[in-house]
Chain A
Amino acid sequence: MSAMSEVFVSESRELVQQATDDLIALEREGFTVDRVDRIFRAFHTLKGSAGLVSLPAMGVMMHAAEELIAALRAELLDATPAIIDQALACLDVMSRWIDAFEVDGALPPDADAEGRVTTERLRALLAGQAGQSETRENQAGFSGDQPVPAWVAQLIEAEQAQIADRLRLIPGALFAISYEPNADCYFNGDDPIDLMRRVPDLLACHIEARAPWPATADLDPYRCNLRLRGISAAPRDALRAIFQFVSDQTHIVEIPAVALRPGEGAKAQDAETAVMVRALVEEQRRILAVPHGGGEDLIGRINAAGRAGTNVLRHALRPELASRVEDGRSAATAEGNVAPLVRVLDEVLAALTPPAAGSSDGLAPSAGARASGTETGARLLRVEEAKVDALFNLASELIVVKNSIAHLVTRAAAEDDPSDLVRMFRRAQESVERVAGDIHGAILQLRMVPVAQVFRSFPRLVRDMAQTLHKKVRLVTGGDATECDKTIVDRLSEPLLHLVRNALDHGIEEPAQRRDAGKPEAGTITVQASRTGDRFILEVSDDGRGIDPVVVRQKAQERHLLAEEALSALSDDQVVDLIFSAGFSTKAEISEISGRGVGMDVVRTAIERVGGRVSVTSRVGEGTRVRLDLPMTIAMSHIMVVEVGGQVFGLPMDAVSETVRLAPDRISRIKNNDGFVLRDRVVPICSLAELMNMPPAPPPAGVRLFVVTEGSGGPAALEIDAIRDRIEVVLKPMQGLLTNASGYAGTTLLGDGSVLLVLDLKEIVP
């Protein structure tokens, strides 16, 4: 890809993100000149760059968007949710196109069509708003390029099946009617519903209030507050005749054919429908290929396959394909041969565009997918110059030390005084250690990225989800600039996303419920990042309904997660932690919003895998807070090297609470295990040898050595023979055949070149 294209890709992505953030801020916090200006400039620049890299479809679409924003800027239009939605949708399309351009150097094949639809919608908003104050019915018919007002699109979506059926039977023009009777129309003897009643071929009709209804006590029964809208297949003249005496209150619009296909709003559903349709058509094809018994059996099969195919294609609003299958079916039954139908089905399969590689959840694809760069392009890291300079200096120091060692080698070869040499070698060793440590630290610094990049997609996500769920939610993020190792930040984004979705779906109540509870209608979700010591803390909290310990206990009981006594022994605070147990949420409950098949147990596992911990606190009716406690870096680990049963293992220091030396009389038999009492707690002894499947050895007669570790079920002690060393190493995760072997945290190389196996105590200790 040329340098210009690369710049285009990275700058355009920035602009899209910035415009998205500003649009959401515009909606949430209101109109400010600065904000709209910034949005306008973003769209304007995007339009221009599209021209530079010769992407006309992109240019045209951005031009329409730019004009819409210009109207906002000039305060000719108000930033309604519909406009914000459409502007964001346009940015989504742009985002996808940038991704495609990065990989293929071109826009996707359907870009022209998609661009045109988006452009039409943008222009419709420009015109549609103006159209609401129009009093003339629209004289000119619409050709395919002209805009469709938003209300028409909504009506079409609501009654799609009806409309599709009708079009299949008698294709022809459809008209949308919008009738807003004057408030005093009843005094003129008008009966608006009666007029709609007379409309022939009415395919869709909605009757709704124009303004919010006053309280029942204040309602004026003779003041008309209705808006009637419909779609009809009757000819325009017939419609005009019906509404001729109220033409100043009516608007009749022809619907262009392109608007009758499913809209962007049904996009996610589309992907699934497309997959299903394709699968069903393929299945009919397969059925026809099975050897048949001829005669009636054959005709029956042809008819069945043909009808199934036709129905599926009608459902998918592809009437033209449906009628071809219908024709294929009649031809096949007439000939007594499957061939004509098979041919048509093959053509249909070719005509069905392959399902879009959409997101695996029901949300808009671009919202979450961009958190860590493209899939196929090289992963890029943005780095401050100062950090690179620091690294350069360290590299220079390394050269100096390297030279001094070369010098020492010469001296050693010349058999100089050994004690002198030892001293100088020691000095060189210290230098190398220092420089190596510094270089390592500097590179770790390079890898430190602000956690803000994970947060970037959240405002959009929360907005879209809140809309879908009909909830009012506001997102507050804090500590965006807090830095953490890149790998950890990358692994954080999925779990964090899940927690936010959870808070939105299960935590925040509907506005009516919140009002009843005396809470502000808009719920708040807070994502806060901070640092304490060498830990990176992330908290996701909401002011929603909280987690009810009673419900958790009940579920835990139903799912047999814990024995009864164990369950009743847990306090309310402890019980809430059970939401992280595997098997706590059934698939049936994990709604489409929260993500398919991802329970809180997956969140915990993911966080623990990077060396973190998850905990939750909650108050019923007040809210929930999930706390992620993570290491700042995953690079260096403190390891205790121990000897057990003649073998050497590493134990992660942060899994070890303490080491104790006990005389044999301190050890007693408690229930079925050996154990001891340590500061008022009973600590059972686990034999590491047994856990590791090594031959058991009799316990030593004298003082025994234990490593105490804190497990989920309480403390446990591991008996060891000796502690060899405490080292700081880079832990390499298990690889190859051993990747899934449980019980190992990783390996490292010791100074003498041997491999040390480091144990994962959490997986070993029962």
Chain B
Amino acid sequence: MVLAGVCPVEDAEPLLQLLQAAPAASVDWSGCSRLHTAVFQVILAVRPPLTGPCGDPFVARWGR
């Protein structure tokens, strides 16, 4: 799964559905430039394996 560019609030639901279907799938968020909180929240809650530091600098710095 790849998150690219700006990920707005609408991306949260499809992301969650994909993760529910494939919980072990890894998420590559190195290419996104900006994450909406809702998208970040899904990742924080599900904790899938992540590839790369987050492309969104704020999340890369402060998101656990």
Contacts and interface: CB of A to CB of B under 8 A. Distances in A.
A binds B: yes
Contact of A216 (B13, B20, B63): B20
Given A193-B36, A216-B23, A221-B16, A207 B42 contact: no
Given A221-B13, A224-B37, A225-B45, 17 more contacts: A186-B37, A191-B9, A193-B35, A196-B58, A196-B62, A205-B61, A206-B64, A208-B64, A209-B44, A209-B45, A216-B19, A216-B23, A219-B45, A221-B15, A221-B42, A224-B41, A226-B41
Interface string A200-218: 0010011111000100110
User: Which interface residue of A197, A217, A221, A226 has the most chain B CB atoms within 10 A?
Assistant: A221
Given A207-B64, A217-B20, A226-B37, A197 B45 contact: no
B12 A193 contact: no
B41 A225 contact: yes
Contacts of B46: 216, 219
5 contacts: A186-B38, A205-B62, A213-B45, A219-B16, A221-B13
Interface in A614-638: none
A191 B20 contact: no
A222 B64 CA distance: 20
Contact of B37 (A191, A205, A213, A216): A191
Tell me if B's interface is mostly helix, strand, loop or mixed: helix
The 7 closest A-B pairs by CB, nearest first: A221-B12, A205-B62, A193-B37, A213-B45, A221-B16, A192-B37, A197-B58
Nearest to A230: B62
B42 A219 contact: yes
Nearest to A221: B12
A194 interface: yes
A729 B59 CA distance: 77
Interface in A172-212: 181, 186, 190-194, 196-197, 202, 205-209
A225 B45 CA distance: 9
Interface of A: 181, 186, 190-194, 196-197, 202, 205-209, 213, 216-217, 219, 221-222, 224-226
Interface in B26-46: 35-38, 40-42, 44-46
Nearest to B62: A205
Contacts of A205: 61-62
Nearest to B57: A197
User: Which interface residue of A181, A193, A202 has the most chain B CB atoms within 10 A?
Assistant: A193
Nearest to B45: A213
Contacts of B36: 191, 193-194
A193 B40 CA distance: 9
Nearest to B59: A193
A197 B58 CA distance: 6
User: Which interface residue of B16, B20, B38 has the most chain A CB atoms within 10 A?
Assistant: B38
B45 A216 contact: yes
A507 B60 CA distance: 38
Nearest to A208: B64
A683 B63 CA distance: 71
Given A216-B20, A219-B16, A207 B38 contact: no
Contacts of B20: 216-217
Nearest to B13: A221
Contacts of A193: 35-37, 40, 58-59
A222 B44 contact: no
Contacts of A186: 9, 37-38
Contacts of B38: 186, 221-222, 224
B38 to A, nearest CB: 5
A542 B60 CA distance: 43
Contacts of A207: 40, 44, 62-64
A216 B41 CA distance: 12
Nearest to A204: B62
B24 to A, nearest CB: 12
A224 B41 CA distance: 8
User: Which interface residue of B15, B35, B58 has the most chain A CB atoms within 10 A?
Assistant: B58
A681 B62 CA distance: 71
A178 B61 CA distance: 18
Contacts of B12: 221-222
Nearest to B58: A197
A179 to B, nearest CB: 11
A104 B28 CA distance: 64
A177 to B, nearest CB: 13
Contacts of A196: 58, 62
Contacts of B59: 193
A205 B62 CA distance: 6
B62 to A, nearest CB: 4
A217 B17 CA distance: 9
Contacts of A217: 20
Contacts of A191: 9, 36-37
B45 to A, nearest CB: 4
Contacts of B61: 205
A213 to B, nearest CB: 4
A422 B36 CA distance: 108
User: Which interface residue of B20, B41, B46, B58 has the most chain A CB atoms within 10 A?
Assistant: B41
B5 to A, nearest CB: 16
A410 to B, nearest CB: 95
B13 A222 contact: yes
Contacts of A221: 12-13, 15-16, 38, 41-42
A682 B40 CA distance: 75
A216 B46 CA distance: 6
B42 A206 contact: no
A186 to B, nearest CB: 5
Contacts of B42: 219, 221
B46 to A, nearest CB: 5
A747 B44 CA distance: 71
Contacts of B58: 193, 196-197
A221 B15 CA distance: 9
Nearest to B61: A205
A208 B44 CA distance: 8
A181 B36 CA distance: 14
A416 to B, nearest CB: 100
A205 B58 CA distance: 10
Contacts of B35: 193
